[in-house]
Amino acid sequence: MLVAPFVFTILVTLISGIFSKSVELTFELPDSAVECFYQEIEKNTSASLEYQVITGGQYDVDVKIEGPKKQIIYQQQKMQYDSHQFTALNTGVYKVCFSNEFSTFSHKLVYMELNVGPEQPLPGVGDHATVLTQLETSAEEIHSALNRIIDHQTHHRLREAQSRKRAEDLNERVFWWSMGETLAIVCVSFAQVMILKNFFNDRPTLYNRM
């Protein structure tokens, strides 16, 4: 099976606001390793985590979300993908950990998206009531629809990357299996030729000596 290159690939899209934060990244998780990410969240703020294993092994990881008081908010083992929403009960630093400790040789490529707080409204929308209010409302609806489209496109790209990697792994296994079968056929053919050759060897017999 092909092993991903030892290059820590991070694609980060970070949008920060006063009340809303969103982090989206793809990272490599080595075998027998744990990667943790930290985010400060205010009390009573909603947050959501979404993740998916793109490549590597059986496409599974252990995931845990831990609060500032070491309380376990979310914990799953050997998951391929999932999403979880929660509300912060305390102000502090929350920890999201991805573990690949159960794997001794398979690297994983993991996608993660962490959203904290509601999305900030568009600048100027709702500041004043004029004839443009309906146009501003339509612009905000278009903005929300475009965000949903971006999310769907991200999910489709992840599924496409995962399916492509599985196809490449399957193609590699079929290739090596075919090579093994070819080698076995050559060895069997050579053995058969040698056996048949021994049958026709001109060996002296008692009749020929007489």
Residue 19: per-residue pLDDT: 39
In degrees, to the nearest 5, what angle opens at C-alpha 115 toward C-alphas 157 and 111?
A: 35
Classified as helix, coil or strand, 59 is coil
Least confident segment among 45-59, 64-78, 155-169: 155-169
Residue 7: per-residue pLDDT: 32
* Amino acid identity for residue 61 in this structure: V
- Please provide the average confidence, as pLDDT, over all residues in the chain: 78
Question: What pLDDT, in 10s, does the model give residues 96-136?
Answer: 999 998 888 888 889 998 989 876 655 555 555 555 577 77
CB–CB of 88/45 below 8 Å?
Answer: yes
**What is the mean predicted confidence (pLDDT) over 66-71?**
92
Pairwise pLDDT comparison (185 vs 148), residue with the higher score: 185
CA distance linking residue 116 with residue 17, whole number of Å: 10
Give the model's confidence band at 17: pLDDT under 50 very low, under 70 low, under 90 confident, else very high.
Answer: very low
CB–CB of 180/72 below 8 Å?
Answer: no
Residue 171: per-residue pLDDT: 86
Least confident segment among 23-32, 54-63, 137-146, 169-178: 137-146
Q: Can you read off the two tokens belonging to residue 164?
A: 């492509």
**What is the mean predicted confidence (pLDDT) over 20-46?**
87
**171: Cβ contacts below 8 Å, ≥ 6 apart:** none
Residue 196: per-residue pLDDT: 81
**120: Cβ contacts below 8 Å, ≥ 6 apart:** 17, 18, 19, 20
Give the model's confidence band at 9: pLDDT under 50 very low, under 70 low, under 90 confident, else very high.
Answer: very low
Residue 126: per-residue pLDDT: 54
